[in-house]
Amino acid sequence: MENTDSLQDVRDIPREEFAIILDFLPHGYPDDFRPSHRKTAIAQALGRRHLSLLELVPKRDVFLQPLQDVYLGDGKREQIHHISGRIPLERLTPTARSELEFALRDLVKKDEKRFVQFFNMAQPLTMRMHQLELLPGLGKKYMWEILEARKAKPFESYADIRARVKLMPDPEKILSKRLLSEISGIEKHRLFVQ
């Protein structure tokens, strides 16, 4: 039986223009015991902008591949019929879960400008904690080095961050880890996931 209780209403989802396919189920969910003529294909996806986990219904006779980009905006959609809703991490299929890490790494790599801007604009959360300290592997020492380096000139790339902050952990890896932990819901403060 299809579990619609775990879907969040589409109106509550921050608007996504594009999504990355995590898994495509051409015959619907295996635990959906409706007759086959009533089942629809399902795609599980990650929204590019707000990092929402989404359940999508593709158009008839469309076949989707993991890590494929699809358009979800208000214009003409070639592949997606509609967005069913937002889904929790535990509702992802095993394939979608394994593809999530690859999708996040790819997103961090392709959207470098956006994430480098985070290093340039990060602010204190409280008197004792800074947003930069929430990234895995970054403590006060790296935070102060990043703040000093960006005063001189804003960072332009991941390579620029590594070059100007000595012994800095790989920004792409720490960002990917942070995104995954935010999506998992284990973080109190959210920097990227809405």
Cα three-residue angle 171-99-10, rounded to 5 degrees: 95
Lowest model confidence (mean pLDDT) among 10-19, 43-52, 122-131: 10-19
Q: What are the structural domains, with CATH classification, of the chain?
A: 10-93 (2.40.50.140), 111-183 (1.10.150.280)
For the purposes of burial, counting CB atoms within 10 Å of the CB of 179, is it exposed (0-12), middle (13-18) or buried (19 or more)? Answer: buried
Model pLDDT, residue 32: 75
What global pTM score does this model have? 0.82
Write the pLDDT tens digit of every residue in 39-87.
Answer: 789 999 999 999 999 999 999 889 999 999 999 988 899 999 999 999 9
Q: Across all residues in the chain, what is the average pLDDT?
A: 88
Write the pLDDT tens digit of every residue in 152-184.
Answer: 999 999 999 999 998 889 999 999 999 999 998
